[in-house]
Amino acid sequence: MRRLMYLLREALANVLTNRTTTMVAVATTAFTFACVGVFLLLYVNLRAMALSLEQDIQVIVYLQDDVTGQARAEIEQQLKADRAIASLAFVSKEQALADFQVQFPAESHLLQGLGQNPLPASFVVTLAAESRSSDAMRRWADRAQLIPGVGQVQYNQAWVEALAGIVKYIEVAAIIVGVILSAASVTIIANTIRLALYSRREEIEILGLIGASTAFIRVPYLLEGAALGLLGSALSLVILKAGFELFRHEIRSASRFLGVDALLTFFPFEMCLVLVLVGLFLGCAGSFLSLLRFGEGRA
Amino acid sequence: MIQLFHVSKYYDRRLALSDITLEIEKGEFVLLMGPSGAGKSTLLKLLIGAERPEEGQILVQGRSLSKLRPSEIPLLRRKVGVVLQDFRLLPKKTIFDNVSLPLLVQGASTGEIRRKVTEALRAVGLDHKKDLFPPGLSTGEQQRICIARAIVNGPIVLLADEPTGNLDPELTSEIIELFKSINARGTTVIVATHDPNVLAQVNRRVITLDHGKVVSHEQVCS
């Protein structure tokens, strides 16, 4: 117990001895983590938006004009049996015309000039959640196209694929930026620990002489690194949350983005916890690197 | 208890110790004499595993130091007390905390630490100064604290490297008397020094080194 108290006290003493260096290290680490956090936040929100849009996207299976009632029933049967489909609604030619007249009253005279109803009957399909990705949707549409009696299969392909592409780019960018800035954080913490090791080299030497194990000598520095990483990542979350709330407030004030603010979300609690733990781990890694590089604490 | 067989040590091809063979029994008081650069400190460093010999074997309590794994070196050092010329006390820790360090690293309980530190400080006559900090003590007192730290965990051997180098003749006598009393309690004491005042006060076994070699080996009867 006394040994544990000693190790904790030493870690605290390290932090207090190099107060300015520690504060600079925490602030810089917080800033670098916040940069990674901005990308993560962008990724989390765009991904949530993509998922929500995917849920709204419907696939329209147009039937050929010469399809008989029996053929239509067979197509409906086949679609209903398909596990990739969550729900299905039939829109007759008459219904399609009525919908068109309601949605585009100014253009309805164009169709009247044609004499007969040119709009095809269709099935409006909502795919099951696991089939809503752009790839799965494309594969399903290609398959549906081959059903006899089906004329054309349409869905908002460009939208889905563009959004999936953006999310993918953000994901890659977040990984690259995350790796680079994490390495930067590790370096910053490693340098802070190196300074602590340098300022206490005599004490380290004495501890070695009186029989302290390598672990006993190293633990306070590992704790210090962990504390720096933890404080840095916690502070970065505070900065991110403040920035996020400010951004949401601005969005709310701008009337053309009406309702968008409700779609924006901050990291859930579990993710905040993971980010703080990642900071703690990177801090430990920084300390460990310094201890290894300078061979301090070795008998 | 300590045996050296044909031990040689080089620093960048420069010979520091050459073909040293000697044996030190349990409870002995040995003076390692010789001028600066004779190899006295190197010999002490070999005994605590801070350096490894290029040739030869060193046995401490029958255990070969060259076969020790790095993780076993701290265990060896817990059996060996070390006193240095420059004291190496931690200025920001109290006397009590300085002396308790060897017990702390071994995981001793709070009660044991309190008891043993008080005993060690009493042995060097400074138990009343346990709450002070090293810079507040005189040079002689700092050296005595250093001795208390070296004996607090009851080492089998006490190594002192030029322990009187920074002290005047009067304080030198005090420190030597302290070593004698520690030795009288059964601890083997090895003092490396070039100070003739020490030799005059310690009529014990004297090993003289010069240029890394043992040049004389005398058993002085007290």
- At A142-195, the pLDDT tens digits run 888 889 889 888 887 677 677 778 878 888 888 888 888 888 888 888 888 888
Distance of CA A98 to the CA centre of its chain: 42
Name every chain B residue with its beta carbon within 8 A of the beta carbon of A214.
70-71, 74
- Return all residues near B148 (Cβ < 8 A) that are at least 6 apart: B99, B117, B120, B121, B123, B124, B126
pLDDT value of residue B152: 95
Residue A115 has what DSSP assignment?
A: S
| Residue A190 to chain B, least CA–CA distance (Å) | 25
Contact of B101 with chain A, judged by CB distance below 8 Å, is answered with: yes
Asked whether the predicted pLDDT for residue A299 surpasses 60, the reply is no
Strand positions, DSSP E, chain B: 2-11, 14-24, 29-33, 55-60, 63-64, 80-84, 157-161, 188-193, 205-210, 213-219
Contact of B48 with chain A, judged by CB distance below 8 Å, is answered with: yes
Q: What are phi and psi of B108, to 5 degrees?
A: -70, 155
Name every chain A residue with its beta carbon within 8 A of the beta carbon of B49.
299
pLDDT value of residue A138: 83
Structure tokens at A96: 């399609």
Q: How would you class A86 by CB atoms within 10 Å of its CB: exposed for 0-12, middle for 13-18, buried for 19 or more?
A: middle
Residue with tokens 């780019």: A169
Name every chain B residue with its beta carbon within 8 A of the beta carbon of A297.
none
Q: Which chain A residue shows the shortest CA-CA distance from B48?
A: A209
CA end-to-end span of chain B, whole Å?
Answer: 22
The full set of domain ranges for chain A reads 2-53+161-294, 58-155
Residue with tokens 């983005």: A257
B105 and A216 within 8 Å at the Cβ level: the answer is: yes
pLDDT value of residue A1: 66
pLDDT value of residue A156: 72
Asked whether the predicted pLDDT for residue A255 surpasses 70, the reply is no
pLDDT value of residue A258: 63
Q: Which chain B residue shows the shortest CA-CA distance from A5?
A: B104
pLDDT value of residue B29: 92
- Looking at residue B204, its amino acid is R
Name every chain A residue with its beta carbon within 8 A of the beta carbon of B78.
210-211
pLDDT tens digits for range A69-104: 888 899 998 888 888 888 889 998 888 888 888 887
Q: Which chain A residue shows the shortest CA-CA distance from B106?
A: A212
A210 and B49 within 8 Å at the Cβ level: the answer is: no
Q: Which residues of chain B have pLDDT under 70?
A: 220-222
pLDDT value of residue B111: 92
Q: Sheet of B14-24: strands edge to edge?
A: B14-24, B2-11, B55-60, B63-64
Q: How confident is the model at residue A297 (pLDDT cuts 50, 70, 90)?
A: very low
Please give the Cα distance from A134 to A295 (Å, whole number): 53
Query: Considering CB atoms only, which of A205, A211, A298 is closest to B77?
Result: A211
Name every chain B residue with its beta carbon within 8 A of the beta carbon of A212.
74, 101, 105
Looking at the whole model, is its pTM more than 0.80?
no
pLDDT tens digits for range A268-284: 999 999 999 999 999 99
Query: Considering CB atoms only, which of A6, A209, A298 is closest to B77?
Result: A209
- What was the ipTM of the complex prediction? 0.86
pLDDT tens digits for range A202-219: 888 899 999 999 888 888
Distance of CA A190 to the CA centre of its chain: 29
> Out of 3.30.365.10, 3.40.50.170, 3.30.70.3040, 3.60.20.10, which CATH number does the structure's domain A58-155 have?
3.30.70.3040
pLDDT tens digits for range A9-66: 777 877 777 788 788 888 888 988 898 888 888 888 888 877 777 677 788 999 988 8
Q: Which chain A residue shows the shortest CA-CA distance from B80?
A: A210
Residue B129 or A3, more confident:
B129
| Residue A24 to chain B, least CA–CA distance (Å) | 24
The full set of domain ranges for chain B reads 1-79+156-222, 89-154
Name every chain A residue with its beta carbon within 8 A of the beta carbon of B109.
2
B49 and A299 within 8 Å at the Cβ level: the answer is: yes
Name every chain A residue with its beta carbon within 8 A of the beta carbon of B45.
none
Query: Considering CB atoms only, which of B82, B109, B110 is closest to A209?
Result: B82
Task: Quote the CATH superfamily of domain B1-79+156-222.
Answer: P-loop containing nucleotide triphosphate hydrolases (3.40.50.300)
